Amino acid sequence: MSPAFCRLCGTALRLARLSGDEQSRLHCPACGYIEYENPRVDVGCLALGFGTDPVLRTLSLRSGERVQDAALRSLGVAAGEDDISLYCALSDRSGGAVCLVFRVSQQVALPAHVAPVEAPAWQRALLARFSRDAAAGRFPVYTAELPAAGEGLLLREVSSS
Ligand SMILES: [Zn+2]
């Protein structure tokens, strides 16, 4: 059963679709707390865009959707599972949010409308690492904690390919 009041501040929760989310969720209008019934799983794809800057696009996993399909959906281009490889698995401290980032094979060309967007600091840090890995021609797999505001992204290399 869903709670009626905010676990943090006690304010009555409201059901609404929040920015960047695809489904309605109970949230607190006072403190911003969101009552997720499951861990939020975001999936993204890193790809080399037009010019030199790589692009990272993320979206939320839909109920019943495979992670690989979500990654391909985030790309918005025709690509197959063979074109993507896991690059980084991130989780926040509470385990309430998970983000799986795949990298896209360089054979897949992103269309012109896939332009870099203003990204949070941890995504910019991951993009910078991806650029260095691409220059070196070596793509390890990383794990990391989703950093709180003002914290840096600490990538831990767990394997290399
Ligand atoms: Zn609250």
Judged by average pLDDT, the poorest of 91-100, 114-123, 124-133 is 114-123
- Where is pLDDT greater, at 109 or 136? 136
Q: Which amino acid is at 131?
A: S
- Distance from Cα 5 to the centre of ligand 1, integer Å: 8
Please give the full DSSP string across 9-64, using - where no structure is assigned: T-PBPEEEEPTT-SSEEEE-TTT--EE-SS-EEEEEEEEE-SSS-EEEEEEEPPTT
- Where is pLDDT greater, at 106 or 140? 140
Percentage with pLDDT > 90 across the chain:
52
Q: Do domains 1-37 and 40-159 have the same CATH topology?
A: no
- Distance from Cα 34 to the centre of ligand 1, integer Å: 8
- Distance from Cα 65 to the centre of ligand 1, integer Å: 30
Q: How many Å apart are CA 90 and CA 40, to the nearest integer? A: 12
Q: How many Å apart are CA 45 and CA 105, to the nearest integer? A: 10
- Distance from Cα 19 to the centre of ligand 1, integer Å: 18
Model confidence at 112, in pLDDT bands (50, 70, 90)?
low
- Could you give the 3-state DSSP secondary structure of residue 109? coil
pLDDT mean across residues, the chain: 86
Q: Over 90: is that where the pLDDT of 55 sits?
A: no
Q: Which two tokens stand for residue 146?
A: 């989703």
- In CATH terms, the fold of domain 40-159 is Nucleoside Triphosphate Pyrophosphohydrolase (3.90.79)
pLDDT at residue 126 in the model: 94
Architecture field, domain 1-37:
Single Sheet (2.20)
Q: Which of 145, 75, 66 is nearest to 103 (CA)?
A: 75
Domain spans of the chain?
A: 1-37, 40-159
Q: Which amino acid is at 22?
A: E
- Distance from Cα 25 to the centre of ligand 1, integer Å: 14
Q: Which amino acid is at 18?
A: L
